[in-house]
Amino acid sequence: MEVVPQSSKLSAPVVLLVDDLPEYRRVLARVLRVDNGLEVLECGSGLAALTILSSCPVDLVVADECMPQMSGSTLLHIIGQRWPRTRRLLVSAHTTGELVAGSPYRVIDKALAGWLVTETIDDLARQKP
């Protein structure tokens, strides 16, 4: 059995998944944790995400566009104002050309999110905030 040094765990990027569908969050979180070794936090609303961000540093927020009370775009905009160094990624089951073209954030189709989120994390890690 391989033991991972504590410092390795601390250096893993922290990803916050925000989606009102718990089944989707659970599957994507598992892919990111198990297959990619990322630390993953989960919540079901924009308000819950803001609470988590107030108490915990997060490297990347992956938010669903269509959620009750607060859209993913609105959430990512607020995060950009309060925590400008936090990377932001929008996912949607309805990635229309209008959504993609009109969004200031990278938009990923939910069906492809597992491996695209990982690829995007790598891309974002190479960029300056």
CATH classification of the domain holding 120:
3.40.50.2300
- Per-residue pLDDT tens digits for 20-55: 999 989 988 888 888 778 889 999 999 999 999 999
For residue 6, tell me if it sits in a domain. Answer: no
Provide the token pair at 109.
């189709």
Q: Can you give the pTM of this predicted structure?
A: 0.78
For residue 2, tell me if it sits in a domain. Answer: no
Cβ atoms within 10 Å, residue 103: 16
pLDDT < 70 positions in the chain: 1-11, 94-104, 113-115, 117-118, 121-129
Distance CA 120, CA 114 (A): 10
For residue 3, tell me if it sits in a domain. Answer: no
Report which DSSP code applies to 5.
P
For residue 24, tell me if it sits in a domain. Answer: yes
Under 8 Å between Cβ of 45 and 20: yes
Distance CA 48, CA 32 (A): 20
30 lies in which domain range? 13-126
For residue 8, tell me if it sits in a domain. Answer: no
Q: For the chain, how many structural domains are there in total?
A: 1
For residue 23, tell me if it sits in a domain. Answer: yes
Report which DSSP code applies to 82.
H
